[in-house]
């Protein structure tokens, strides 16, 4: 079968996408926690990076001397940005220094403000897709933050008195806005300095974060108590990646364990999903894998996060292999190893051009519905990349409908199917492998995307709600 013929097969597979919204609208309730903030988004060019480097008197060699992936001074912001630009990867580095925050405010600025933090981004996506009720955790909710929530009555949080209201209507005026910098760059752009040059291989972004509340994992007690009494279909968790060992992050993470366990006990029947993010502190990353992952039903990772997990479960050689060549076969081997070591029932990888889900047989979501959710996620993600938002994706046609999947996804799918020795999977995207079920979906790619912020969170969460079928909740 030629690539063009295979694209037609998947175009036909994707035709089910519009009807999946009907199932999404049957989802009763979802909660998202813990990190919500405001993103200051800026598109940076290679020439702008060079300009900032020269202002700080940084040489080409200086920029490539990275001792740790944490921001201690303005120079580290540029080092992280250059690293991500050159490799076409996404990373988030944390700073605890107010002077760095002030320097970014003065020297970098932003093009626009938008919703940030996995909890906030996912909440907007869930509400836009038509979920009946979305509860979002906010540790800071002044008017500037409230303005980033979609103006939907079904998207709720809690005011300063602990009363539930539509999030966009709340103004906890004493709260301080939490702002993160999202520095986006484009494939094919060139960074030049000191007679050296690097071309960006893939559009992506670097995130520089100063956020005292999320760094301390501040949890809203009104939210916690209310959620315990709701009959939820899904709980989407994230925000642990911002913790640092030096700031007491391990104890803070332990504090969250009892909250998650209470939801597990009281929200019977729901699926708890953990979206892993770029976690630079190795001790925190290891604690997330060892303590949070055992409490959840599902985790979501990208290429970088997959490698990060390998590094803390004793699979350094495989991590190095994936870093050198992050293709579908190497990453699938990584998923198998992560599955073996963590025992997590379901793992979803969103890599460039292809999504792969590895799950236990007889998991709560069957392969057919899983595939539907992944195709919905791919369609919505492509729409977001092209248009810049998904504010009305549940009520207006997606830009991506009737678009063919990308060449990269087809090539990665072929390689994976050959490795697995499951030829029928090429057309269906579904197969049994050892004691697991594997679902793989080639995706729709967008050249020069308007935004990539929150793309992984959007993909993972929409994959879940798109796979929903009505079932009785206890």
| Alpha-carbon distances of 391 from 28, 125, 304, 394, 395, rounded to whole Å | 19, 7, 28, 8, 9
**Over 70: is that where the pLDDT of 91 sits?**
yes
The rounded distance, in Å, linking the Cα atoms of 46 and 82 is 9
Residues 38-44 have a mean pLDDT of 92
**Over 90: is that where the pLDDT of 357 sits?**
yes
CB 249 within 8 A of CB 241: no
Higher pLDDT, 211 or 381: 381
pLDDT reported for residue 470: 55
pLDDT reported for residue 292: 96
The rounded distance, in Å, linking the Cα atoms of 115 and 145 is 8
pLDDT reported for residue 384: 94
Residues 348-358 have a mean pLDDT of 97
pLDDT reported for residue 474: 38
Range with the poorest average pLDDT among 232-236, 325-329, 332-336, 388-392: 388-392
Closest listed residue to residue 419, CA positions, set 407, 405, 431: 431
Angle 74-87/98-107 helices, nearest 10 degrees? 60
pLDDT reported for residue 19: 94
Closest listed residue to residue 170, CA positions, set 223, 236, 97: 223
pLDDT band at 472 (very low <50, low <70, confident <90, very high): very low
pLDDT reported for residue 334: 98
DSSP letters spanning 203-219 = -EEEEEE--HHHHTT--
pLDDT reported for residue 227: 85
pLDDT reported for residue 473: 39
Asked, as a colleague might, if the bond just before 34 is cis with ω within 30 of 0, I would say yes
Residues 92-111 have a mean pLDDT of 89
Residues 347-362 have a mean pLDDT of 97
**Over 90: is that where the pLDDT of 72 sits?**
yes
Residue 271 φ/ψ, nearest 5 degrees = -100, 125
Residues 76-93 have a mean pLDDT of 95
- Of the chain, the percentage scoring pLDDT greater than 70 comes to 99
pLDDT reported for residue 469: 78
What the chain holds in terms of domains, given with CATH numbers, is 3-37+216-465 (3.40.1190.20), 40-114+176-212 (3.30.1110.20)
pLDDT reported for residue 407: 97
Q: Which residues pair with 431 in a beta bridge?
A: 438
Tens digits of residue pLDDT in 255-312? 899 999 988 888 888 999 999 988 889 999 999 999 999 999 999 999 999 999 999 9
Residues 156-169 have a mean pLDDT of 95
**Over 70: is that where the pLDDT of 41 sits?**
yes
CB-count exposure of residue 62 (10 Å: 0-12, 13-18, 19+): middle
pLDDT reported for residue 209: 86
pLDDT reported for residue 443: 98
**Over 80: is that where the pLDDT of 34 sits?**
yes
pLDDT band at 105 (very low <50, low <70, confident <90, very high): confident
pLDDT reported for residue 63: 97
**Over 90: is that where the pLDDT of 68 sits?**
no
Closest listed residue to residue 214, CA positions, set 311, 114, 284, 148: 284
**Over 70: is that where the pLDDT of 471 sits?**
no
Tens digits of residue pLDDT in 183-230? 999 999 999 999 999 999 999 999 998 888 887 888 888 898 888 888
CB 315 within 8 A of CB 288: no
């Amino acid at each position: 079968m030629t690539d063009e013929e295979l694209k037609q097969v998947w175009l036909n597979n994707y035709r089910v996408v519009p009807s999946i919204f009907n199932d999404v609208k049957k989802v009763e309730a979802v909660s998202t926690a813990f990190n919500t903030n405001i993103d200051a988004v800026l598109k940076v060019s290679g020439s702008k990076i060079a300009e900032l480097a020269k202002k700080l008197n940084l040489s080409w060699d200086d920029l490539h001397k990275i001792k740790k992936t944490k921001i201690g001074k303005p120079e580290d912001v540029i080092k992280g940005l250059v690293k991500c630009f050159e490799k076409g990867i996404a990373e988030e580095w944390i700073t605890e220094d107010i002077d760095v925050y002030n320097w970014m405010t003065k020297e970098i600025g932003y093009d626009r403000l938008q919703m940030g933090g996995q909890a906030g981004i996912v909440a907007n996506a869930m509400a836009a897709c038509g979920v009946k009720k979305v509860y979002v955790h906010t540790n800071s909710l002044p008017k500037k933050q409230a303005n980033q929530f979609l103006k939907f009555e079904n998207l709720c949080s809690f005011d300063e008195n602990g009363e539930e209201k539509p999030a966009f209507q709340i103004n906890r005026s004493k709260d301080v806005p939490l702002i993160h910098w999202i520095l986006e760059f484009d494939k094919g752009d060139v960074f030049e300095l000191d007679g050296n040059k690097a071309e960006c291989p893939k559009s992506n972004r670097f995130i520089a974060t100063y956020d005292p509340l999320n760094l301390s994992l501040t949890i809203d007690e009104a939210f916690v108590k209310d959620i315990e009494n709701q009959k939820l279909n899904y709980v989407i968790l994230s925000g642990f990646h911002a913790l640092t060992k030096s700031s007491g992050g391990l104890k803070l993470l332990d504090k969250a364990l009892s909250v998650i366990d209470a939801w597990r006990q009281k929200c019977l029947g729901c699926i708890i999903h953990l979206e892993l993010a770029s976690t630079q502190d190795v001790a925190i990353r290891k604690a997330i894998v060892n303590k949070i992952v055992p409490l959840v039903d599902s985790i979501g990772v990208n290429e970088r996060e997959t490698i990060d997990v390998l590094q803390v479960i004793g699979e350094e050689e495989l991590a190095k292999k994936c870093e050198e060549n992050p293709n579908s076969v190497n990453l699938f081997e990584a998923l198998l190893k992560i599955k073996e070591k963590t025992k997590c029932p379901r793992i979803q990888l969103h890599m460039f051009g292809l999504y792969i889900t590895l799950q236990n047989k007889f998991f709560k979501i069957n392969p057919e519905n899983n595939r539907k959710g992944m195709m919905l996620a791919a369609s919505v993600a492509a729409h977001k990349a092209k248009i810049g938002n998904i504010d009305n994706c549940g009520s207006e046609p997606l830009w991506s409908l009737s678009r063919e999947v990308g060449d990269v996804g087809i090539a990665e799918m072929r390689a994976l199917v050959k490795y697995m020795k499951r030829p029928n999977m090429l057309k269906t995207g579904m197969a049994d492998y050892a004691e697991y079920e594997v679902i793989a979906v080639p995706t729709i790619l967008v050249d020069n995307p308007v935004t990539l912020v929150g793309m992984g969170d959007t993909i993972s969460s929409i994959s879940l709600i798109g796979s929903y079928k009505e079932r009785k909740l206890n």
